[in-house]
Amino acid sequence: MAKKKAAKRQTLSEQLIRIIEDGPRSRYWLSKAAAVDAGQLYRFVHGKGRLTTDSLDRIGEALNLRIVQADE
């Protein structure tokens, strides 16, 4: 009997990108609400740039996010 492969967990960045892309707000709104440069946010979402921890904190605040540890 073959073993099932466990689904690969998404990184925090991948999860955040999905939230930004699939959420009800636009990237433009988020850039203004979080005081993050719209170009930098675009580059992050498209895998061509990174965000500082300060920017991540402001994005989390604007989107009312929290990190929850998954049960294994």
Query: Do residues 55 and 43 make contact, with C-beta atoms less than 8 angstroms apart?
Result: no
> Which tokens belong to 29?
């709104």
Is the pLDDT assigned to residue 10 strictly greater than 80? yes
In the chain, the amino acid numbered 6 is A
**Digit-coded pLDDT (tens) for 11-56:** 999 999 999 999 999 999 999 999 999 999 999 999 999 999 999 9
Is the pLDDT assigned to residue 69 strictly greater than 70? yes
Domains of the chain, residue spans: 12-18+26-62
List all residues 6 or more positions away from 47 whose beta carbon is below 8 Å from its beta carbon. Answer: none
pTM over 0.85: no
- Number of residues written out for the chain: 72
pLDDT of residue 42: 97
Query: Do residues 26 and 36 make contact, with C-beta atoms less than 8 angstroms apart?
Result: no
